[in-house]
Every structure is written in C-alpha cells, then in structure tokens.
Amino acid sequence: MLVTSQEICYRSASANLSVSPSVGLAFIGSLVSQDRRQGHATGLLQLICDRADREGLELRLTVGSEGGPEDASNADLIRFYGKFGFEQLTADNAYYLGRQPSRGGSTSVVAA
C-alpha cells in the first residue's frame, strides 16, 4: 500500500495529510492554526474536503486536545468537524471521526 504524506497550508493553518489512493483513504493529522477565530482552519479543512471529494477519498482523523477526552474543547472540535460531515466511526471511541466523499457536489461551509 503506497502512502504519501504532505503538509497542506492555508493562511496560518496547516495539517499533515497522509493519502493512500489504493484504498481510497486519507488521514488528517495535526491540524493547527496560529490565528484562532480567523477562519483559517475552516478554509484549510474545506480545501482538504474538496480534494477528498474530487479524488473519492474517505477522510479520517482523531480529535484530541491537551486536556484529554473530557476536555470541553474536544466537544468543540467534534462540532467543528461535524460541519464538514465527519461522524463518529466507532461506538467505543467518540474521538475517532470519519467522512465519506461527497458524491453530489460541494459540502462547502465557507461563505462565498
């Protein structure tokens, strides 16, 4: 299985994306934004989702902040990713999320 990794950036936000086209899967790791509440992470995640849709890739990620699973910011992150169609993958791990590629067009949450 061939996996390629790359860093993707949008303004002050960046993420590591590991893509395995042969199995139609990509993992998002370490999505961070230096300037909070500026829409940079939203723009970056939109770029990643658009690419995944074009290439027919399922996206997966693990939500986690420094405070651990009970940290209130994890709930905020889960809601944030939910805006892009990410859902809980397993009943025993609320922090492992996945998103199927959109088949009917854009899932844009970024205001035009």
Residue range 10-55, pLDDT digits in tens:
999 999 999 999 999 999 998 888 888 899 999 999 999 999 999 9
> What is the average pLDDT value for the chain, to the nearest integer?
86
Residue 87 has a pLDDT of 95
pTM: 0.83
- pLDDT of 56 > 50? The answer is yes
- 31 vs 107, residue with greater confidence: 31
Calpha distance 68→104 (Å, rounded): 36
Confidence band (pLDDT; 50, 70, 90) for 112? very low
Domains (range + CATH), the chain: 4-99 (3.40.630.30)
- Helix intervals (H) in 18-88: 40-55, 72-82
- 14 vs 68, residue with greater confidence: 14
Q: Any bridge partners for residue 98, and if so which?
A: 60, 87
Confidence band (pLDDT; 50, 70, 90) for 60? very high
| Biggest alpha carbon–alpha carbon distance for the chain | 38
Mean pLDDT, range 55-84, rounded to an integer: 82
